[in-house]
Structure 1
Amino acid sequence: MSDSMDRSISIGEHLPFLRRYSRALTGSQSSGDAYAMATLEAILHDPSGYDETSDPRVGLFKVFHGIWSSSGAPVEVEEIGLHAAAQGHLAKLTANTREALLLNTIEGLSFEQVAEVMGVAQAEAEELVIIANREMLASVTGRVMIIEDEPIIADDIEAIVEQLGHEVVGIARTRGEAVKLGKEEQPDLILADIQLADNSSGIDAVNDLIAELGEMPVIFITAFPERLLTGEKHEPAFLITKPFSDEQVRSAVSQAMFFSSTQTLKA
């Protein structure tokens, strides 16, 4: 098998998770996927820039970070409809903290790997994650709705969200319950499982709510993340893989809340 074929297979295995990371950084599927595509184009143009000798995933994320950093790590305010206050919260965060936190908690990279991706010392990578957690806890809070049919999981998510200082406005188990609750409470953020009780779909419930209430950040929870990271259709910007850790939920909720476009956010 040729080197180029080996490289294509290696990149293909990790590309869905690069999309997940890039979407979480930008708060947008389209912007996130555009950065992922730019990463592929950079590797195609200069394969020597992609180091897959130790860990192909680290090599792929490292190329991405070169592009992301050189662009100034922008967030497209017009595209995602951020209010000035929410954009202001993003601007106050210490540089590189969101990147380090997402790489470590959502993508599961070790501190050593985070340091390699970001081109910093391991001690600095660890410090960036500590700062990120502290700044997130001290920043934006809002109203969160949970769509989850497993009571134990729903209770766990509720406890994590409330520990972050957010208000949980309710828990829905089916598509119908979710639509009713969402219309009544108008949350700033939704956490939704894909498969619900009575075989209804969390995706359909969210689509119903967005049609009624307008765009808002949504975190989907699924055991099969690759199915929602294809880049071929409308897909979520924020995604948690089951089984998830408390740290993953905290990180995803804190990141997504910055992209809420409602007026109920509090500093």
Structure 2
Amino acid sequence: MPNTDATDLASSVGANLPFLRRYARALTGNQDTGDRYAAATLEAILADSQPFDAGENLKVALFRAFHLVWSSAGAPVGDADSKLSASAQNHMSKLTPNSREALLLHAVEGFSKDEIETIMSLDPGEGDDLVTIARREMLDAISGKVMIIEDEAIIALDLSAIVEEVGHKVTGIARTRTEAVELAGRERPDLILADIQLADNSSGIDAVNDILAQFDDLPVIFITAFPERLLTGTRPEPAFLITKPFSEEQVRSAVSQAMFFSSTETLAA
């Protein structure tokens, strides 16, 4: 491969790596496990970059390479580090094979059904079927209480409507770090949806950390216009991250995924 081509490939892979790592973490349920397979994917690409040389869409090729590596290892998830995660992994084993991967690729990463079939080596039409199955299985699995941290009223109302539409209860909407901590203290949520930048220039991340200091095992979904600023490899990193502007499907999928991975039973009503 000419040096210019190699430089272009490295640049493209580097630009898409944060999103591959996001996908790998959500897929495996464990940051260390996800990063390990993302790193193994890069090693595989260094050893053989043929799919990229062939002119395939670079992001599709990167995710396809990851799937080949991850699938060849038996599609593992991370070691459970709590009772909740152990229960969630047990429930995941009962899902329709490949459905969760297809849903993440489509709803969170934005791949088309055709691209999903390429990434996962599926038959034509199978990607659409798997996304439909996954959405139904995830939504039917659990319901719970969701707290929203968002300072823009219209966005907060949109999030609230989406969350309630899929069967969850919204405990309230907080616009600042202080409001968020107080709201969580009044009614413990099962899930937090948090914007990064809040109305008083406080940080949604700081608000979440304050809340997590009080409650263990709360799943969190961060919402940001600049996901690459959080997906840097510096700990801690969010397992679930929605990019602004978001779609209803992205929110539904992320909420269902986060809820599902945190518990296998109906959460507190």
* Aligned mates of 1:12, 1:54 — CA distance in 2: 17
Deviation of the 1:48 alpha carbon:
3.0
Deviation of the 1:15 alpha carbon:
0.6
Which of the residues 35, 38, 41 maps onto 1:36?
Answer: 38
Letter in 1 for 2:152: E
Deviation of the 1:240 alpha carbon:
0.3
Query: Aligned residue for 1:109?
Result: 111
Tell me, yes or no, if structure 1 residue 226 matches structure 2 residue 228.
Answer: yes
Contact 1:82 1:261 survives alignment (8 Å)? yes
Tell me, yes or no, if structure 1 residue 21 matches structure 2 residue 11.
Answer: no
Deviation of the 1:259 alpha carbon:
2.2
Q: Which runs of 5+ in 1 are unaligned?
A: none
Contact 2:141 2:264 survives alignment (8 Å)? no
Tell me, yes or no, if structure 1 residue 202 matches structure 2 residue 204.
Answer: yes
1:7-18 mapped onto 2 (5 Å cutoff): 7-18=9-20
Q: Which runs of 5+ in 2 are unaligned?
A: none
* Aligned mates of 2:80, 2:129 — CA distance in 1: 32
- Give the aligned length: 267
Which of the residues 184, 187, 192 maps onto 1:185?
Answer: 187
Say if 1:15 and 1:191 are closer, same or farther in 2 by CA, change over 3 A: same
Which is worse superposed, 41-50 or 93-102?
Answer: 41-50
SS of equivalent residue, structure 1 residue 78? coil
Say if 1:54 and 1:89 are closer, same or farther in 2 by CA, change over 3 A: same
Which is worse superposed, 180-189 or 55-64?
Answer: 180-189
1:1-267 mapped onto 2 (5 Å cutoff): 1-48=3-50, 50=52, 53-79=55-81, 81-82=83-84, 84-260=86-262, 265=267
SS of equivalent residue, structure 1 residue 205? helix
Report the RMSD for the aligned CA atoms in angstroms.
Answer: 2.1
Deviation of the 1:256 alpha carbon:
0.8
Deviations 1:109-166 (A, max 9, x none): 1111110000012300110011111111211212211111111111111111111111
Deviation of the 1:251 alpha carbon:
0.6
Letter in 1 for 2:22: R
Contact 1:89 1:139 survives alignment (8 Å)? no
Which is worse superposed, 256-265 or 237-246?
Answer: 256-265
SS of equivalent residue, structure 2 residue 32? helix
Deviation of the 1:50 alpha carbon:
4.8
* Aligned mates of 2:178, 2:86 — CA distance in 1: 34
* Aligned mates of 1:194, 1:137 — CA distance in 2: 26
SS of equivalent residue, structure 2 residue 171? strand
Normalising by structure 2, report the TM-score: 0.92
Deviations 1:34-85 (A, max 9, x none): 2211211221233335566120000000010012212222222423653554
* Runs of 4+ with >6 A deviation: none
Letter in 1 for 2:212: I
Deviation of the 1:196 alpha carbon:
0.6
Contact 2:227 2:243 survives alignment (8 Å)? yes
Identity among equivalent positions (%) equals 63
Normalising by structure 1, report the TM-score: 0.93
Contact 2:149 2:180 survives alignment (8 Å)? yes
